[in-house]
Amino acid sequence: MWNSIKRYHFFYHRKGFYTFLKQVSIKFGILMGVILLGLILFERFTPGISFYFAKYSLIVSHEIVLAVFFVSETILGLVPPDLFIVWAKQFTNPYAVVLLLAALSYSAGLVAYYMGIKLGAIEKVSAIINVKFASQFKMLRSWGGLIIVIAALLPLPYSTMCLGAGMLKYSLKALLILGLFRFVRFFAYAAVLYQVV
């Protein structure tokens, strides 16, 4: 077993995984710092984010917000999920809404996976996508499941990784298991963000 661990360690070291993980962790720390500072300042100098979400909830239904979130999570994560996590704070049981958001994000990843399978079968479309997301797909080929876990937990494009997993015919069973880290991400982020808002 020890030899297997050493082999994996050598492989990931040679493939640059640890360097990449360090870079992503630093970027993540900076991003979270900026987000938290922005929220603290917003809460201090305005009526507060909850006030604005409550105000606009009268105009935009919860179903529309959830639909926008699902589409965003399916198509390359166009809107940061952190915004929706903060939106969930206005509810009586915000963690139940966070659970719903995590389930929608997890499901969106599966939709992206199946889109990847279908798009991968269309030669011209596959070629365009492979060029556009060359760096992400290279990581997926090199590091497999580890990059899916990192994308599920950190601010990497999770849906893009799922799309790539479908195009590369990555194991659906493995994706179903590794994608569960998406739930960890949503609850961990909520626990941190709810200290501020």
Rounded to whole angstroms, the Cα distance separating 189 from 153 reads 9
pLDDT at residue 154 in the model: 87
How many domains would you assign to the chain? 1
The token pair at 138 is 């290279």
**Per-residue confidence in pLDDT tens, the chain, 197 aa:** 666 667 766 766 677 777 877 887 788 788 778 878 888 888 888 877 777 777 776 678 889 999 999 999 998 777 889 889 989 988 999 999 999 999 999 999 999 999 999 998 888 888 888 888 888 888 888 888 888 999 999 888 899 899 999 998 999 999 999 999 999 999 999 999 888 77
Would the pTM count as exceeding 0.75? yes
pLDDT at residue 40 in the model: 84
Rounded to whole angstroms, the Cα distance separating 15 from 144 reads 12
Residue 95, C-beta contacts closer than 8 angstroms, at least 6 positions apart? 88, 187, 190
Rounded to whole angstroms, the Cα distance separating 134 from 117 reads 17
Rounded to whole angstroms, the Cα distance separating 22 from 56 reads 39
Rounded to whole angstroms, the Cα distance separating 181 from 186 reads 9
The token pair at 68 is 């926008």
Rounded to whole angstroms, the Cα distance separating 184 from 23 reads 21
pLDDT at residue 4 in the model: 64
pLDDT at residue 152 in the model: 93
Vertex 82 angle, CA 79 and 86, to 5°: 120
**Between the CA atoms of 106, 109, 114 and 117, what dihedral angle is there, to the nearest 10 degrees?**
-140
Rounded to whole angstroms, the Cα distance separating 157 from 167 reads 15
Rounded to whole angstroms, the Cα distance separating 33 from 70 reads 26
pLDDT at residue 96 in the model: 97
Residue 167 sits in which domain range? 2-193
